[in-house]
Structure 1
């Protein structure tokens, strides 16, 4: 745990934090976030992770390790710790999922929309013996905007949040970021790797990471590299299975990742194969993006039924469909009953599927990769079973699973 009396020693920066223009939040859909525009996945199909950067005085991993140590990551530079954090601030659930994966889920004190994030995470964890996330008493860090006073009150040991992103929030500037980092606890996060969007002014050397590279860095913070390595091996095996069984590009389906707004009869649409960790669950699947050539003015586009009908994708992956924010049965019924929607190929062929969250950590990513593989390529990976609204991730027979639940649970539980 970081000593509150000497926090100023824990944040070492390669360059001073500077002011950045404020960026207005945007809730692109009812399942989106106040900053709908970053995904944390990775930029390559291999999605590998290289840790590195730890030069602590105490060797070894695991929460029992003691002594000071340093972890380096952009944009913070070198961040020093006197011990494993026991009180952890997160905003987006990818970092909460990382904490759970590393055996430190009980250290998390906050997560965006706890009911949505926590429920969705547990939909996956329900298939892993001994793994779960207690979310009911957690603070929502964006319920009233990023609140500096609340960060003082929480007294966290680390903020798994990007200081560059924090500097863009309403009523925040570089001095606020510096104050929290020096007087409360260090920042440790990387937001703009989500979509490879430009970082704010003053962060010209900003480095992008894949989801699993970020996970490796967070594992160093918690001194849990053995857990990370075990999970990364499962992830590597899953990617190998997917890559080796993908059909030729010309035989792959066209697909769209979208969220339906019944109120406006429009779809928020997102790319499948662009860089960034928000696409860590679709890019390795390499489906033909029905809107792949579109250049939207933001991080997503908005299309109507007629535009979607022109693209007429073979498969519709409904983002947030595994969250409690949407009932897939209602989404399908609305599309079937619409005069244009009912004529869509994906609707007529029953290929409208629930997708997960873009704010995915490593465990969520494993399940979402498997889910997408079965939805897009049932002949190669087995059919996706029927999903019941509000229920956990479907039970898949062991012989049809694309990764081992036993190995994942063993890694998370420290049974190695």
Structure 2
């Protein structure tokens, strides 16, 4: 793990290379720019300015600033080296920027290790080694002092929802250790805590990634990966069948030992649906979930009866690629149950593994490809199937929706 040992001898209150811009207001963090707590074993995209560019001044060797809600303008004297983070979308962004080894903490590192090692197996020269890192949700103030990170890539508004985290504690860490820089509630465009409402803004996955790239002065990698992403979206959008010829689908997470689980909106705003929304498929659970259920209407607790009532043509099952669930066992449970076995997706053997909703650019690219194939195999090529414990399946080059080597080169710095 990369550390800048020359900075560690200074008192935290004199950390010279990063500071917040703006003014402190009351017990909040800044004035300025306007989840294990969820059921994916992770704590709990419609952008108002999709073409905005993060505020930045200077060069890699000079002070510069980056703006993102809810922090406002954050100033940096040099590029951070030792990085604290919590959630998977930020972890993914750091990996994509070639900073995977600089991470000193994340929520459930074993979970993320298991998922991402299956993806990077298809990216030459890219690897992950996160076993044993501090599992950071909810973090403790004492641990943040001990880690003495250069930056906290985490959403301070989300952090204040953790036990023991008043706004004053968030501000203390920003002043005495290092600033916060992250945006999490854009996952479902979730309503922020009351104290943060006037400074919060929702972004797309790729807007957040662009701003994180600015923090690490890695705009070239961001631009290259964004170009790949735009090409994938264009391919999908240009080849989708007419609406009447699209399947119905349900995105679900099943309980490991009960005949129940959770259903998630596939076409809901926010980066949680960044891989399903572009598919334009009918969300079989949309009516059941409604607008007011769960966290801003994003999910529903379901059983097999409700799932049969929705009767999706395709079941997209979260979890198997993390190693926490076996797709084979899930299929067997569904097939052996008197109710679940009547679901069209089960009868037609269209029950597929997915990764996770809390995604950054790398997982997003793979999930766009897998979901396109799972929903529209005659258009985008057959999904080769995920084998429990194995890497992301090998896809023939002429059936890939993005160039693996190009992505690997970008992550490795060969732009």
- TM-score (ref. length: structure 1): 0.90
8 Å contact 2:334–2:341 — kept in the other structure? yes
Is 1:86 matched with 2:88? no
Task: State which of 43, 47, 60 in structure 1 corresponds to 2:46.
Answer: 43
Task: Pick 1 or 2: higher relative contact order, CA cutoff 8 A, min separation 6.
Answer: 1
How far 1:307 moved relative to its partner?
1.1
Gaps of 5+ in 1: 36-41, 59-64
CA distance in 1, matches of 2:346, 2:26: 49
Aligned-residue offset at 1:390: 0.9
Map of 2:237 onto structure 1: 243
The aligned counterpart of 1:54 is: 56
Q: State the partner residue of 2:129.
A: 134
What SS does the aligned partner of 1:156 have?
coil
Residue 267 of structure 1: CA displacement?
2.2
Q: Does 1:76 align with 2:71?
A: yes
| Map of 1:276 onto structure 2 | 270
> Is the alpha carbon distance of 1:137 and 1:263 closer, same or farther for their aligned partners in structure 2, counting shifts above 3 Å?
closer
Q: Distance in 2 between matches of 1:169 and 1:254?
A: 37
Q: How does 1:9-408 map to 2 (within 5 A)?
A: 10-13=19-22, 16=25, 18=27, 27-29=37-39, 31-35=40-44, 42-43=45-46, 50-55=52-57, 57-58=58-59, 65-142=60-137, 145-203=138-196, 204-293=198-287, 294-295=289-290, 296-298=293-295, 299-408=298-407
1:115 CA drift (Å): 1.0
Q: Is the 8 A contact 1:265 1:304 kept in 2?
A: yes
Cα deviation 1:42-85 (Å, max 9, x = unaligned): 237xx966433112x32xxxxxx212110110010110111111
Contact 1:255–1:314 (8 Å) recurs in 2: yes
1:252-300 CA-to-partner distances (Å, cap 9, x unmatched) read 1100000112533112000000101111111111210001133213331
1:34 and 1:237 mapped to 2: Cα distance? 31
Give, in whole Å, the separation in 2 of the partners of 1:116 and 1:262.
15
Instruction: Kindly provide the CA deviation profile for residues 175-232 of structure 1, in whole angstroms up to 9, marking residues without a partner as x.
Output: 1000000100000001111111111112223111100000000000000000110000
Compute the displacement of 1:17 (Å).
Answer: 6.5
Determine the C-alpha separation between the residues in 1 that align with 2:52 and 2:367: 22
Structure 2's unaligned 5+ residue stretches are 30-34
Would you say the 8 A contact 2:13–2:175 is kept in 1?
Answer: no
SS for the counterpart of 1:322 is helix
**Structure 2 partner of 1:61:** none
**Cα distance 1:83–1:393, how it changes in 2: closer, same or farther (>3 A)?**
same
Q: Note if contact 2:267-2:277 (Cα within 8 Å) is conserved in structure 1.
A: yes
CA distance 1:48–1:244, shift in 2 (3 Å): farther
- Counterparts of 1:356 and 1:326 in 2: how far apart (Å)? 11
Q: Deviations over 1:300-322 (max 9, x none)?
A: 10111111111100000001221
TM-score (norm 2): 0.91
- Alpha-carbon contact 1:49-1:212 (below 8 Å) kept: no
SS of the counterpart of 1:10?
strand
Q: Is the 8 A contact 1:99 1:105 kept in 2?
A: yes
Alignment length (residue pairs):
394
**Closer/same/farther in 2, CA of residues 262 and 117 from structure 1, 3 Å limit:** closer
Root mean square deviation, CA, Å: 1.9
